[in-house]
């Protein structure tokens, strides 16, 4: 008599047959409708994060933090006008101190030749600051055409859904594509692009030079005002009957009835205190801006020398690393050489333009239309000056 053995394979086969009998279709049991719809939606949502093979961590990060980025963009767009007014108010306050506090003192103490130099340079610097800041704020950075055209493009903007020419990027704050976009500047409440990049850089240079000029020439007045305020505070403490040592603590009171035969100091009026505090404010603000804005201006000068924008610096760095791993060398296609890069950026087409377009206010348009660019290598100089 044979004995039937129950092996694991037959048990699995038996369970499979039972499931097929319970389920009318061979694909298996379906979930109820109230569960299948949320499951399908979650599956579609998960797959949308990986919509193509070019998706990387940056795309996933941007998708997950889209609400936070939207709030930041909205606040930056709203506060842009506030930042512009801050620049106007702070610059105006510096001018008030210079004209009504420092200039009268200079008229009394400076020689005629030195005074003429300060008046000429100071007003030239002021005109350059006001002109370039106004043009940087009011000039549109340049936008690619939205209608159909034959201009070559490198990609299609996934937000604007329009062709993007070379060096064009989408600004999430302005909510449109910008030609040769460098960055969005909240202090301008405007994007820095092809048409106003020169105005932005010239404003930075002019403001840095003006702040250095004010800081260097106002140092003597700042020290005099600072020591005058410190001396006034010391006299106020003495009048209250308190003896103060240099860096030590309060050690005692003067005895009652003691008389100090000290020559009385000249009166320190309220007007003089306000003027001295204004000079201190003038020197601290201009010195701080000179350091911070000077560093930013130097950085942009290096980018211009390399023929790059702030955005292209990051993309070129990634491309450089990628090609280095492949044993190749990456060359920026828009780098024509340091001197030629400056000529293209400043719009210098002949020798006289170094004076009329660089050292004097000029509203000339940049070279090219921002839609097409000559690529590296270039055998001849774009601008033979």
pLDDT digits (tens, 9 = 90+) for 73-83: 777 777 888 99
pTM of this structure: 0.75
**Tens-digit pLDDT profile for residues 60-113:** 676 777 777 677 777 777 788 899 999 999 999 999 999 999 999 889 889 999
On the 0-12 / 13-18 / 19+ scale of CB atoms within 10 A, 31 is exposed
- The residue length of the chain stands at 385
> Residues 5-27, buried b or exposed e (16+ Cβ, 10 A)?
eeeeeeeeeeeeeeeeeeeeeee
Contact 200, 146 (CB under 8 A): no
User: Would the CA dihedral through 281, 284, 287, 290 be positive or negative?
Assistant: negative
Q: DSSP per residue over 308-325, as a string?
A: --HHHHHHHHHHHHHHHH
Contact 251, 245 (CB under 8 A): yes
Q: How many CB atoms lie within 10 A of CB 32?
A: 7
In this prediction, residue 280 carries a pLDDT of 96
**Tens-digit pLDDT profile for residues 184-228:** 999 999 999 999 999 999 999 999 999 999 999 999 999 999 998
Q: Which residues are catalytic?
A: 185
**Alpha-carbon span 276 to 280, nearest angstrom:** 6
**Tens-digit pLDDT profile for residues 250-273:** 444 444 444 444 455 567 788 899
Supply 273's token pair. 């205190």
């Amino acid at each position: 008599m044979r004995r039937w053995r129950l092996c694991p394979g037959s048990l699995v086969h038996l369970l499979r047959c039972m499931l097929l009998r319970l389920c009318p279709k061979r694909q298996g049991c379906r979930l109820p409708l109230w569960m299948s719809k949320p499951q399908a939606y979650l599956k579609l949502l998960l797959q949308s994060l990986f919509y193509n093979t070019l998706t990387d961590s940056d795309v996933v990060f941007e998708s997950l933090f889209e609400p936070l980025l939207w709030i930041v963009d909205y606040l930056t767009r709203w506060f842009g006008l506030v930042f512009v007014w801050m620049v106007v108010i702070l610059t105006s306050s510096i001018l008030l101190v210079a004209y009504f506090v420092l200039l009268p003192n200079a008229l009394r103490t400076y020689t005629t030749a030195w005074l003429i130099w300060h008046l000429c340079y100071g007003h030239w610097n002021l005109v350059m600051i006001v002109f370039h800041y106004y043009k940087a704020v009011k000039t549109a950075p340049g936008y690619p055409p939205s209608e159909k055209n034959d201009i070559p493009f490198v990609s299609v903007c996934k937000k604007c859904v329009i062709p993007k020419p070379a060096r064009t990027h989408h600004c999430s704050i302005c909510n449109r594509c910008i030609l040769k976009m460098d960055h969005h500047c909240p202090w301008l409440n405007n994007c820095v692009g092809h048409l106003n990049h020169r105005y932005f850089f010239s404003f930075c240079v002019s403001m840095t030079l003006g702040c250095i000029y004010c800081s260097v020439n106002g140092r003597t007045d700042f020290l005099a005002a600072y020591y005058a305020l410190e001396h006034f505070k010391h006299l106020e403490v003495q009048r209250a009957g308190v003896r103060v040592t240099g860096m030590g603590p309060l050690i005692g009171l003067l005895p009652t009835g003691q008389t100090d035969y000290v020559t009385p100091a000249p009166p320190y009026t309220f007007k003089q205190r306000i003027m001295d505090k204004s000079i201190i404010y003038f020197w601290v603000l201009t010195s701080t801006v000179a350091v911070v804005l000077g560093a930013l201006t130097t950085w942009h000068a290096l980018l211009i020398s390399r023929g790059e924008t702030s955005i292209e610096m990051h993309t070129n760095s990634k491309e450089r690393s990628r090609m280095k791993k492949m044993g190749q060398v990456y060359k920026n296609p828009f780098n024509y050489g340091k001197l030629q890069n400056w000529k293209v950026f400043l719009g210098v087409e002949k020798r006289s333009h170094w004076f009329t377009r660089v050292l004097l206010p000029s509203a000339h348009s940049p070279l090219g239309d921002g839609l097409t660019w000559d690529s590296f290598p270039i055998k001849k100089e774009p601008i033979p000056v």
